Structure 1
Amino acid sequence: MNRIRMYIDGEWLESESGRTTDIINPANGRKAAEMTRGTADDVAGAVAAAKGAFEPGSPWRSLSADERAELMVKAAELIEKRAEELAVAETNSMGRVYRETRYDDVYAASGAFRYYAGLIHELQGAASVENGDMMTVTVREPLGVCAVLAPWNYSMGTMAAGMAPALAAGNTVVIKPSSLSPVATAMMVEAMAKAGFPAGSVNMVLGSGSEVGTALSESVDVAKITFTGGTATGRDIIARSATSVKRYAMELGGKSPFIIFDDADLDVAVDRLMFGIFLSQGQVCIAGSRLLVQDTAYERVTAMLKERIPKIRIGMPLDENTEFGPMVSKRHMERVLDYIRIGREEGAKVLVGGRRITEGAFGDGYFVEPTVLVDCDEHMRVVNEEIFGPVLTVQTFTDEQEAIRLANSTGYGLAGGVFTRDMGRALRVCSAVDTGIMWANTYMEETPGMPVSPHRQSGTTVDGGLDGLKEYTVLKQINLAMTPTKSDWFTGMVSEGKDNR
């Protein structure tokens, strides 16, 4: 049985509280591991260690940019050497199928360290000599202690995406993984410790959001909070952080529109739609959870969904042939099922799915069928609220303007997609839909290194690329006088014949 401990100031520690939390395998409901449960005192110790490691002259601050990059690349190599072990640990604690954790999660984590190691030398300032013999330069400096709070659904990749730019910029970090899936993150920290990151530069505190997350939010020594999760929790973190002026990188909830026009390649569109909503059982922040289909294509699209969804291979997540696994926890499964019930009560009809899977071995786990709700309208809770599960709502529209209006009818602005052969229309829709990222004729495909920023209630940050790295720095202006001269502002001179007192 795995016992997960905290990592503070270069040491693996148990919490003095003596409390533990069980990590449950969502495929069978059995205990997979346990973790020590930290307290506000543990947070204080971790933040103090990170603050000490950030002091000038410390081993961490004394590293050159090349040396920081070398550590990050070494950590990436060690993560990749344990790819199989990491993937199994992530699958057993979160339920994400092995084919995703093995070939996506692990390499998303190592890739983040490699990518930002390569960007370190791009953190440059500027210079100006416009003011006579005065030279003005700007430099980018690290912020200080950065807290990274990652979710359970993509724990390794999301955690690394927050840690890597923070460390590349020269900050120190205190991280808090989700209590549902901390195992792989702890193994990633083991790789960083083995790579040689100095004590205090990387710290991990385990525990609940209400206790550990709150303590990190309220700490006056935390300069920046990076958080991925629900919008309500993001608002709470901002409110609790009012103890000091902090910076934020927040990717919050989403209810992304997936727009299909009748001239689209429907075979491609439906394939991408299923990928966009049922990947990782719909437990993805950018899931295309709202299908907006032109009324003239509605019958064809729904018929294709009804035919194809039952063919999805639902199974135990460690089976490499499995395409669709369980919800992360019993509580989350019940939440998803409750939303399906609410949708029915609001007038939506179940086209496909809609129930918990209890046959055979599935009965011990937290499996929910891939579900499609039709006859939905923009006022329904299932259309406006993030379900974070395998539930697709379907609405129809008549023309381009109505599609755009419906796409923008929720408070979220994370992602969206449009499928049409008319590229002029595709560009107009991409421009008009108020989201941080849009796809045309594809979904969930990105170009590495391109920044993205969520809109509206979906967050506040710039993530990715050099722009994302700069978010972990503060700009300083330095003015250098070539020839020192007096200002002669206060001369103390007395005019002839007058006393200027």
Structure 2
Amino acid sequence: MTGAPVGLLIGGDRITSTGHTHEHIFPATGLPNATVAMAGAADVDRAVDAARAAQREWMAQTVDMRRDRLIDLADAVHQHLDELATLNVQDYAVPISFAGTAHMLEGFLRHFAGYADKIAGSSTPVSGSFDVNLVEREPYGVVGVIAPWNGALAVAGSCVAPALAAGNAVIFKPSELAPLAALRFGELCLEAGLPPGLVNILPAGAEGGDALVRHPGIRKVHFTGGGTTARAVIRAAAENLTPVVAELGGKSGNIIFDDADLDRAAMLSAHQGPLMQSGQSCACASRLLVHASVYDTFVEKFLAVLDSAPAGDPFDPLVRFGPVISESALTRILDTVDLAVSAGAGELLTGGKRMGGPLAQGFYIEPTVFADVDNSSPLAQTETFGPVVSISRFTDDDQAVRTANDTRYGLNAFVHTRDLRRAHRVSRALESGSVWINSTSRISPQGPYGGYKQSGFGRTGGWEGLLEFLQTKTIRIGLD
């Protein structure tokens, strides 16, 4: 899809003349896919003005009207699931078989629509008086939501949906690397009857993102991405003391106990590790910790799953493995592999090279597995954000937990066991915002999701996720 520039969505208008564009490259072919207009400071100013007006209009509606508009939006997303999935593939070449974040978006919209008419405050007694003391929850006003290239629709669901349900307007910044699905979501907001400007979509790079978080009209920022960028976002937001929620990276421990169903564990670990989004996920289970007694058997099964996963055209429904996002990402990941090999970080069992043949023009890297990796090595401690995983052994539960926790990250952890007592005991000992037992990372709108340690702070999903977009006010009525 090439042609005229893909524009920003501000108010009800598509803006294509911003003075700066980005050439979007389709990762599966390395060829230009679209030209994307990039937002700058002036565009952020205009979007904030539109959002302020729309937020006043939104809050002038009754709660049941706002609830119904969000349900209408969920219906519109449902009617366009196939289109949104296709745009996901065009954005970052995720295989169509894994492009299910449009379903996630719909689910979050329906869930939080139900909260729109249920946001309740309270009345409390006060010391030494019979005054009426009310505690109310109110929206911030205009919030900024910054999404990574690998999850624009997921972030639209987990952040934009509760922000709207809480009564806010949103300026949503998708990455310039993957703006197409997000822009279509913005159009669906208009088609569903939301006030123009309630959801503005501003693809942007560092300049536009900096202008967004520094803008005095932005009352809160929700950022999803890496730690380095998060620090810059927090520093910029601090100028106006703007609060920030941050969902950041991970280096998830994936513990395979000796009583696990090894076939299922191998399949789930391959999916959650190098296969899903080619390992380009903060939820990637990139550190496999395997009990010594089943180590060899598990590794054999795990490699067999990887070998059987077809790589190729991401639009092919049979394909399970796609490219990484860019040439620069490919180079960075391969350099990480080469450094690990030269440093003797572990035994390279498979992968470690760029794929050739019909995939040579795309950014494909073979699923890469290192065995017997020391947990103190950079390979085990640094987020690779690619299809690279390490495997190491443990001999008892305490060692498994210590190794899993021996990282600065704490977003996800995975446990495979048939022992219910062990599952409860280990999950409580793991320093992680989410622990998945005999499962992949299946984020749902009912459950709060977020990190410990340097994996961030704040939550999406559940009541906790809604509260991130509400502020508390006390009102005291004197009666004495």
* Range into which the TM-score falls when normalised by the shorter chain: over 0.9
1:127 and 2:128 matched: no
Residue 44 of structure 2 aligns with an amino acid whose one-letter code is: V
The alignment yields a C-alpha RMSD, in angstroms, of: 1.6
Number of the residue aligned with 1:99: 97
Say whether residues 1:5 and 2:7 are aligned partners: yes
Between the aligned partners of 1:16 and 1:265, the Cα distance in structure 2 is 55
In the other structure, the counterpart of 2:377 is 380
After TM superposition, give the deviation of residue 282 of structure 1 in Å.
1.1
Residues in 1 aligned to 2:475 and 2:114: alpha-carbon distance in whole angstroms: 27
Cα offset for 1:97? 0.6
The structural deviation recorded for 1:85 is 2.0
Distance of 2:172 and 2:438 partners within structure 1: 37
In the other structure, the counterpart of 2:74 is 76
Aligned partners of 1:15 and 1:42 also within 8 Å = no
Q: Which amino acid aligns with 1:23?
A: H
Q: Which amino acid aligns with 2:304?
A: E
Shift of 1:200: 2.5
Letter aligned with residue 244 of structure 2: Y
**Residue 153 (structure 1) aligned with residue 150 (structure 2):** yes
1:179 equivalent in alignment to 2:180: no
**Structure 1 residues 428, 35: closer, same or farther in 2, change over 3 A?**
same
CA–CA distance in structure 1, aligned partners of residues 60 and 270 of structure 2: 50
Counterparts of residues 218-237 of structure 1 (less than 5 Å): 218-237=214-233
Amino acid at match of 2:103: Y
2:393 to 392, 396, 406: 396
**Separation in 2, partners of 1:313, 1:413:** 31
Alpha-carbon shift at residue 306 of structure 1 (Å): 2.9
Could you list the per-position Cα deviations for residues 356-375 of structure 1 after superposition, in whole angstroms to 9, with x for gaps in the alignment?
1111x201111111111112
Give the match for residue 497 of structure 1. none
**In structure 2, what is the Cα distance between the partners aligned to 1:27 and 1:117?**
37
Residue matched to 1:305: 302
Alignment of 1:203-222 (within 5 A): 203-208=200-205, 210-222=206-218
Partner of 1:263: 259
Which region of structure 1 is more displaced relative to structure 2, 377-386 or 295-304?
Answer: 295-304
Bigger radius of gyration among the two: 1
Question: Which residue type is aligned with residue 57 of structure 2?
Answer: P
Query: What is the CA-CA distance between 1:447 and the residue it aligns to?
Result: 5.2
Secondary structure of 2:288's aligned partner: strand
Matched residue SS, 1:308: helix
Aligned to 2:461: 464
- Structure 1 residues 271 and 156 mapped into 2: Cα distance closer, same or farther (>3 Å)? same
What is the alpha-carbon distance in structure 1 between the residues aligned to residue 171 and residue 433 of structure 2? 27
**Paired letter, 2:366:** E
* Residue identity in the other structure for 1:197: L
Residue 238 of structure 2 corresponds to residue 251 of structure 1: no
Which residue in the other structure is 2:29 paired with?
A: 28
What's the TM-score once normalised by structure 1's chain length?
0.92
Question: Which residues of structure 1 form unaligned runs of 5+?
Answer: 486-501
Q: Contact (CA 8 Å) 1:5, 1:12: kept in 2 or not? A: yes
Segments of structure 2 that go 5 or more residues without pairing to the other structure are none
Is 343-352 or 384-393 further displaced after alignment? 343-352
User: Does the 8 A contact of 2:142 with 2:168 survive in 1?
Assistant: yes
- The residue number in structure 1 matching 2:423 is 426
Following superposition, the deviation at residue 121 of structure 1 comes to 2.1
Question: CA separation in 2, counterparts of 1:442 and 1:157?
Answer: 19
Q: Deviations over 1:73-107 (max 9, x none)?
A: 21222222222222222102211011222xx1211
Could you tell me how far apart the structure 1 residues matched to 2:468 and 2:91 are? Answer: 32
What is the one-letter code of the residue matched to 2:49? A
Name the SS for the 1:364 alignment partner.
Answer: coil
* Paired-residue identity, %: 34
CA distance in 2, matches of 1:21, 1:446: 31
* Equivalent pair of 2:158/2:445 in contact (CA under 8 Å): no
Alpha-carbon distance change, 234 to 116 in structure 1, aligned in 2, over 3 angstroms? same
Residue of structure 2 in register with 1:37 after alignment: 38
Partner of 1:489: none
Q: Residue in 2 aligned with 1:294?
A: 291
Alignment TM-score, normalising by the size of structure 2: 0.95
Q: Describe how 1:302-381 pairs up with structure 2 within 5 A.
A: 302-347=299-344, 348-359=346-357, 361-381=358-378
Match of 1:226, SS?
strand
Matched residues in 1 for 2:469 and 2:12: separation?
Answer: 23
Question: Of 220, 233, 238, which aligns to 1:242?
Answer: 238
Please state how far the C-alpha of 1:181 moved relative to its aligned partner. Answer: 0.7
Q: What amino acid does structure 2 have at the position aligned with 1:411?
A: R
Cα distance in 1 for residues equivalent to 2:126 and 2:46:
48
C-alpha deviation, 1:31, in angstroms = 1.4
Aligned residue number for residue 450 of structure 2 = 453
Q: Partners in 2 of 1:221 and 1:445 — Cα distance?
A: 35
Q: Secondary structure at the match of 2:376?
A: coil
| SS of alignment partner, residue 117 of structure 2 | helix
